[in-house]
Structure 1
Amino acid sequence: MTTSRSLPPLIVLLGPTAVGKTELSLRLCQRFDGEIVNADSRQIYREMAIGTAKPTPEEQARAPHHLVDLRNPDEPLTLAEYQQLAYQAIDQIHARGHLPFLVGGTALYLRAVTQGLRIPEAPPHPQLRAELEAVLAREGREALYARLQTLDPATAAVIDGKNPRRVLRALEIRLITGRPKVEQEGMEPPPYRILHIGLTRPRHILHQRADRRVEEMIRQGLVEETRRLLEAGYDPALPAMTSLGYREIIAYLRGEMSLEEAMARMKVETHRFIRHQYTWFRKMPDVHWFDLEQEVESQIVALIEAFLAPGEGAS
């Protein structure tokens, strides 16, 4: 699909965990005078560097990074807030005359920015959230989902009913706004012309790279990082603390499994997460895919150059 040359450009670099997004994005930014906008939902948290594979200080010094270390682990960031912050960062990069690269593997973050998802805004209601959390803890996801089916059958029919966070949020929106969540959704494409570049590798190689990353995280001090977070008072039930890697190490620190078992579990869950990422990536339109096991960097550079050249267009 050809896009208007009057719109400012945005390069999207997406791919599964451990594929090699960070190193390639740094080289591309150095070549094209670019700046990176983070699209990884866990790298927004401070004090969680190892378990999120956050770019190191040395890597961040090679190109400006935005939307990293935005929140403490107990401070939520809504999708709508992320979307707004991403648009602000992209616009500021354009204002500096630089090229923005949206880089990450969180499909919902990527879609929020590139497709302009209209995200229902429900004002904070701590009492209602506490009540719904209590129902979830006491009666389980099925009870919440049954209530959603009664109050908002249209939303219940289309969301992942097995995801307790999605069910809870849909109920919260319905109860606070009085309107079904699906009625408030839609898309409003952002004012950019967008080039989607997808990075991949053969699945068995990707799994091997992910396994090595798990082992490297342990060597780098993931156990100590997790222990520090717990000692700082962060609740193990927080979404940040129940994310991949941290939940397994918390189980180890509680004596529920050995470190070897925790590492094995991390590897299995990372493989599952990679499959989940690909499921979402396949739903994203107009992605130019490149296998990083091949010599493709020159092809990617040529694609970006053609995209930026006057009179050309891509999506």
Structure 2
Amino acid sequence: MGGAVLALILISGPTATGKTELGICLAQKLDSVIINGDSRQVYQELDIGTAKPTPSQRAQVPHYLTNWVAPTELITVAQYQSAAQRLIDQFQGQGKIPLLVGGSGLYLQAVVQGLRIPPVAPQPKLRQQLSTYSQLERYHFLQQIDPPSARKIHPHDAVRTLRALEVYYVMGRSLSQLQGQNIPNYPVLYLYLDSDQLTLRISQRTQKMIDQGLVAETQLLQAKYGADLPLLKTLGYQEISDYLRGNCTLIQAQEAIIQHTRQLAKRQRTWFRGQSGLVSINSDRPDLITYSWDKVQAFLTAIRY
């Protein structure tokens, strides 16, 4: 494809739009690598509930920042940003064009827009105090002190809610006030996947998760790390945990996952559509791979000349 260029390809969009599959196909064509851009897929052992690429998928193309840390560790956006940028620099130095694939807007934004992240270390004592409140109460606190950050965080996302509160109590200013930008000096192709059949896709994927063993995965995580593991309070695991506590039937838990995933997708759509420079692609189109590859080739031609 000609001489090497410094560039990055981002594949983003709402959950269940086929980002993983498209990323693998394009990475194979580019003889490149995939850097995970999903905030939960960085954690080991959270496989089914996060729709993590399967071992066979990861064997097709090298994946990085997937299965990165143990579920008991807290990865901040700043840590992710630093690790992702090191990998981008490394592979660009090897003449590759890495692909950043995921739907976690803040993680992606931290890389492609160079967000300046507040250097706040985890605060165990503060976290212990905040753990006496429910996730709903913590999220309400966040809505009061930092509305912009609250709008970017799902109400059930205990990990990011705690982090935003942590930054506020340590720094005395909200996360949104402290964040600035330091734009990377290489061009980025922003591919945005969406689907007219997203509701159906979400229902089908949720059923697939149940069939693949989401209940057993949740039980295993509870047995190994305790039911209070913050990641078990995130989408998918929270609803199955409610079922395991006898608070609902499995069908009701599944319906709740679908409902909450649809709400997440709506928030993701709103966030991504507020970004500039996106190349929107309907993931339902039959020529998805060819069409997307044409966009990649046009991008590479444009930045070379």
Is the shorter-chain TM-score for this pair beyond 0.5, marking a shared fold? yes
Instruction: Give, in whole Å, the separation in 2 of the partners of 1:62 and 1:191.
Output: 30
What's the CA shift for 1:143? 8.2
Question: TM-score normalised to the size of structure 2?
Answer: 0.88
Aligned residue number for residue 223 of structure 2? 231
Report % sequence identity. 39
Match of 2:185 among 186, 191, 202: 191
SS of equivalent residue, structure 1 residue 75: coil
User: Secondary structure of the equivalent of 1:288?
Assistant: strand
- Please report how far the alpha carbon of residue 106 of structure 1 lies from its aligned counterpart in structure 2 after TM superposition: 0.7
For each residue in 1:212-232, what CA deviation from the matched residue of structure 2 results, as whole angstroms up to 9, or x when unmatched? 111111111111111111111
Gap runs ≥5 in structure 2? none
Aligned to 1:48: 46
Gapped regions of structure 1 (runs ≥ 5):
150-155
More off after superposition, 181-190 vs 32-41: 181-190
In structure 1, how many angstroms separate the alpha carbons of the residues matched to 2:236 and 2:139? 26
- Alignment-mate amino acid for residue 32 of structure 2: G
Number of matched pairs:
298
1:304 corresponds to 2:293? no
Runs of 4+ in structure 1 deviating by more than 4 angstroms, as ranges, are 142-146, 161-171, 178-183, 310-313
Residue 99 of structure 1: SS of its match in structure 2? coil
Q: Which residue matches 1:153? A: none
Counterparts of 2:161 and 2:129 in 1: how far apart (Å)? 14
The code of the aligned residue for 2:209 comes to: M
The Cα shift of 1:187 comes to 0.6
- My pick for the range that moved more, 15-24 or 292-301, is 292-301
The 1-side partners of 2:239 and 2:56 are apart by 28
- Counterparts of 2:49 and 2:97 in 1: how far apart (Å)? 29
Contact 1:223 1:249 in 2 (8 A): yes
Residue correspondence of structure 1 range 1-315 to structure 2 within 5 A: 8-134=6-132, 136-137=133-134, 140-141=137-138, 144=141, 156=146, 158-160=148-150, 169-177=163-171, 181-202=175-196, 205-232=197-224, 234-294=225-285, 295-309=287-301, 312=304
Contact 2:149–2:176 (CA under 8 A) maintained in structure 1: no
Q: Identify if the C-alpha distance between structure 1 residues 311 and 257 changes in structure 2 by more than 3 Å, giving closer, same or farther.
A: closer
Q: Who wins on radius of gyration, i.e. which is larger?
A: 1
One-letter identity of the residue aligned with 2:166: E
One-letter identity of the residue aligned with 2:220: R
